[in-house]
Amino acid sequence: MTGVAGVPAFARLHADYVPVLARKPGALRNGAPFKDWVLPAAMERVRRKLAAVDDGNRQMVDILTAVLTDGLPAVDAACAEAIVHGVHSADVVLNILARQRDPGPPATILTPAALTLRHVPVADCARYDNLRRTI
């Protein structure tokens, strides 16, 4: 798959282009390098749906920015899932991506010796009843 002037279509997702799009999202609609841009099917459907929204270019740029961190297959799958659910906003796509990330194992926290229990608590409600009577 090639884009304008034989440059691979997804090469334009390089880190140099996304910051430009973030500053000037209208370039996505009007910029010469992006006119004949071929995206994966689900991303293209989201792009077409977002074209009808006031801030659609900004939302599409947010989705394209996610490609740099999550990868093209993951973003395309998130767009497909969003379409299946009948939504097409960037917030939904980014939320789907965030839920699919592996958070990794939680950090193990060692308890300092000063915080270890000296007296194990006893579950005895009669003790509390006695306290209430003295007050």
Q: Supply the pLDDT for residue 5.
A: 47
Average pLDDT along the chain, 135 residues, taken 10 residues at a time = 47 62 67 69 90 87 87 92 93 94 85 87 84 78
Is 62 part of a structural domain of the chain? yes
Alpha-carbon gap, residue 7 to 38, rounded angstroms: 12
Is 27 part of a structural domain of the chain? yes
Q: Note down the domain range covering 83.
A: 4-107
Q: Supply the pLDDT for residue 6.
A: 45
Catalogue the long-range contacts made by 31-39 (C-beta closer than 8 Å, 24 or more residues apart): 32/4, 33/3, 33/4, 35/4, 36/3, 36/4, 37/3, 37/9, 37/12, 38/1, 38/3, 38/9, 39/9
Is 55 part of a structural domain of the chain? yes
Number of domains in the chain: 1
Burial 60-75 (b: 16+ CB within 10 A, else e): bbbbbbbbeebebebb
DSSP state of 101: S
Count other Cβ atoms within 10 Å, centred on residue 2. 11
Counting Cα atoms < 13 Å in the Cβ hemisphere of 123 gives 0
Q: Supply the pLDDT for residue 29.
A: 65
Q: Supply the pLDDT for residue 132.
A: 85
Is 91 part of a structural domain of the chain? yes
Is 84 part of a structural domain of the chain? yes
